[in-house]
Amino acid sequence: MAIPSLSLLFLFTSLPLVSSSPVKDPELVVQDLHRAINVSRRNLKYLSCATGNPIDDCWRCDPNWEKNRRRLADCAIGFGKNAIGGRDGKLYVVTDSSDDDPVNPKPGTLRHAVIQDEPLWIVFARDMTIQLKEELIMNSFKTIDGRGASVHIAGGPCITIQFVTNIIIHGLHIHDCKQGGNAMVRDSPRHYGWRTTSDGDGVCRHGYFHVVNNDYTHWEMYAIGGSANPTINSQGNRFTAPNDIFSKEVTKHEDAPESEWKNWNWRSEGDLMVNGAFFTRSGAGASSSYAKASSLGARPSSHVATITNNAGALNCKKGSRC
């Protein structure tokens, strides 16, 4: 899936190899998932601030959160709950917002931090806007933690996460992303190579994507898209098509022919379409039990305005609760 613009938490982890054992009964999948969610929430214990978001509840009521940043890595529930990011590595402070040389990045820049081989927990010395010259290619076991500063990645290519594992991105504003490419870009201390044209996405376009209770308003080409056979399960979202675009279609299959994308599993359940917006469904869909297993308690789309009223990166100040 392609994400044009966002201010969210992302947790990425590797998947185990699929075994040859039989698929579990769908109802058991539902029960196991709900049991795991309830256990995760109980484990948050006294640190819960009752914000309704268990990922943030476990740290944001602590006035000393800035001294315990790595607790964030132990907060997640759901698909990415085992992603540890840079929890076990050193703290890396980004002091320089420049991105002059994608092949030989300067120490202190975000690019220099994310390409290192060792685990790193990356924070920012101050508010900054980073205009990347080329796409930012992540290395494994990294956390980009924007809490305590207003950090924008904007006006250039954005973030690429591929062939890596254990990535956490929290509290960044990622927007106004542009195409890049046809240039050399470093992805580790030992390697750089030629990159063809990048897509201008915010992050992330392979795999399984569960899109729940979001409010999409100012998209351009599309709100949700993909080109590499992703599975998209859209539930309880509100899609309001902008007035100044030709196509009101929420979905985009990039350059894939219909003979391919008609088999991709893209479904919409309980979404609200406004101002002519429409969602092109494809694939056979999933059983109601599997849809329930992945829903994680999606609210009706009529609640989206209230749910997302304060959405975006948290405005956290050091020395006080967020």
User: Whole-model pTM above 0.85?
Assistant: no
Same domain, 173 and 98: yes
Query: Which tokens go with 316?
Result: 């956290």
Same domain, 138 and 103: yes
Rounded CA-CA distance 63/2 in Å is 36
Residue 314 lies in a domain: no
Residue 322 lies in a domain: no
Query: Which tokens go with 309?
Result: 């009223």
Per-residue pLDDT for the chain (322 aa), expressed as one digit of tens each? 444 434 344 444 333 333 333 444 544 554 555 455 445 444 444 445 665 555 677 788 788 999 999 998 987 765 677 889 999 999 999 999 999 999 999 999 999 999 999 999 999 999 999 999 999 999 999 999 999 999 999 999 999 988 898 999 998 988 888 999 999 999 999 999 999 988 777 776 566 777 878 889 888 888 888 877 888 888 889 999 999 877 899 998 878 889 999 989 898 989 999 999 999 999 876 545 445 544 456 778 888 887 777 677 778 888 888 7
CATH of the domain at 187: 2.160.20.10
Rounded CA-CA distance 9/76 in Å is 10
Q: Would you say 256 and 262 are in contact if contact means Cβ atoms under 8 Å apart?
A: no
Chosen domain end from 154, 179, 202: 202
The tally of domains found in the chain comes to 2
Query: 14: number of CA atoms within 13 Å, CB side?
Result: 8
Torsion angles phi and psi, residue 82, rounded to 5: -95, 0
16 contacts: CB under 8 Å, gap ≥ 6:
none
Same domain, 28 and 125: yes
What pLDDT score does 188 carry? 97
Same domain, 192 and 304: no
What pLDDT score does 10 carry? 45
What pLDDT score does 41 carry? 44
For residue 100, the enclosing domain spans 1-14+24-202
Residue 155 lies in a domain: yes
Same domain, 244 and 96: no
Same domain, 178 and 291: no
Residue 37 lies in a domain: yes
Residue at 278: amino acid letter? F
Query: 174: number of CA atoms within 13 Å, CB side?
Result: 28
Scanning the structure block, which residue is given the tokens 């969610």? 37
Residue at 138: amino acid letter? M
Residue 320 lies in a domain: no
Residue 19 lies in a domain: no
Same domain, 68 and 186: yes
Same domain, 39 and 180: yes
What pLDDT score does 205 carry? 59
Of 57, 5, 7, 108, the closest CA to residue 311 belongs to 7
Same domain, 46 and 123: yes
b/e per residue 211-238 (b: at least 16 CB within 10 A) = bbbbbbeebeebbbbbbeebbbbbbbbb
Give pLDDT tens digits for 91-132.
Answer: 999 999 999 999 999 999 999 999 999 999 999 999 999 999
Of 224, 227, 229, the closest CA to residue 279 belongs to 224
Same domain, 152 and 176: yes
Same domain, 266 and 171: no
Give the helix ranges, DSSP H, for the chain. 26-43, 54-60, 110-114, 258-261, 288-295, 304-307
Q: How many CB atoms lie within 10 A of CB 304?
A: 23
Give pLDDT tens digits for 67-90.
Answer: 999 998 987 765 677 889 999 999
Residue 114, helix vs strand vs coil: helix
Q: How many CB atoms lie within 10 A of CB 99?
A: 21
Of 147, 156, 94, 77, the closest CA to residue 319 belongs to 147
Same domain, 193 and 215: no
Distance of CA 311 to the CA centre of its chain: 14
